[in-house]
């Protein structure tokens, strides 16, 4: 294999720029998916079916639509309706919205796993509904679902290369641009492949550490 370390050296400044964009998209997309997923989960537990049905229909549609299609819709169609965002913002919103439909199910499982006695104790203490959720139920539910949420963080990381299709210069976008300019494909693609493995591993280590702290 014709490996050129000079090509690696030349690519590294572009790599660091792409890595920063990838991590930014991952962090912001994760925050959106976690927050919006919790909102969906709580709305699905409202007693009013006129709230549950639309939320269920929207989340089911988003979950069963490819993320790439959603990216194209948000980036190319919404501007025709007067809603235009930057490429990175569009990517963050698309990833966050798409994965919120999965984190919604994770939160739901965590809420269902809270023992019934906790609900009964809150009722016996005459706690208001919002206090029951914020102080009793959600802290216990979130503690149970951290490992599953961590798996979706890694899944989101693996999907960030899709942002290249809407002109976001993440790691893959930088590698592709460098390869086309320098006619060197092996080195930049290998570098970002190793980077994805390392970032995924570090994320899994951090999540396991957080899980142990929550258990204690």
For residue 174, the model assigns a pLDDT of 92
Q: What integer pLDDT is reported at residue 109 of this predicted model?
A: 86
Give the start-to-end residue ranges of the domains of the chain. 20-170
DSSP 164: G
Averaged pLDDT, groups of 10, the chain, 216 residues long? 82 93 95 94 87 91 94 92 91 95 91 80 77 79 83 92 92 91 88 93 84 71
Among candidates 95, 103, 77, which has minimal Cα distance to 168? 95
What's the pLDDT at 145? 85
The confidence score (pLDDT) of residue 37 equals: 93
Question: What pLDDT shows up at residue 82?
Answer: 87
pTM of the predicted model as reported, rounded to 2 decimal places: 0.88
**What span, in angstroms and rounded, lies between the C-alpha atoms of 128 and 130?**
6
Q: What pLDDT sits at residue 216?
A: 63
CATH number of 20-170: 1.10.3720.10
| Residue located via tokens 């709580």 | 42
Rg (CA), the chain: 21
186-215 and 171-182 helices cross at what angle (nearest 10)? 170
- The DSSP element (H or E) to which 113 belongs, if any, is helix 87-113
Helix-helix angle 5-43:171-182, to 10 degrees: 150
């Amino acid at each position: 294999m014709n490996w050129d370390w000079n090509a690696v050296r030349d690519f590294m400044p572009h790599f660091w720029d792409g890595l920063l964009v990838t991590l930014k998209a991952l962090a912001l997309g994760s925050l959106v998916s976690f927050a919006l997923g919790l909102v969906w989960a709580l709305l699905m537990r409202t007693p009013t079916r006129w709230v549950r049905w639309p939320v269920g229909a929207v989340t089911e549609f988003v979950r069963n639509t490819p993320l790439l299609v959603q990216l194209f819709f948000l980036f190319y169609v919404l501007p025709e309706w007067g809603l235009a965002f930057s490429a990175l913002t569009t990517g963050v919103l698309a990833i966050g919205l798409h994965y919120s439909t999965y984190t919604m199910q994770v939160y739901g499982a965590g809420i269902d796993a809270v023992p019934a006695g906790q609900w009964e104790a809150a009722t016996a203490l005459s706690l208001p509904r919002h206090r029951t959720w914020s102080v009793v139920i959600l802290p216990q539910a979130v503690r149970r679902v951290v490992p599953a949420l961590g798996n979706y963080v890694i899944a989101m990381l693996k999907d960030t290369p899709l942002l290249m299709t809407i002109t976001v210069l993440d790691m893959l976008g930088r590698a592709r641009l460098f390869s086309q300019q320098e006619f060197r494909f092996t080195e930049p693609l290998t570098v970002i492949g190793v980077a994805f493995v390392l970032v995924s591993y570090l994320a899994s280590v951090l999540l396991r550490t957080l899980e142990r702290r929550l258990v204690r």
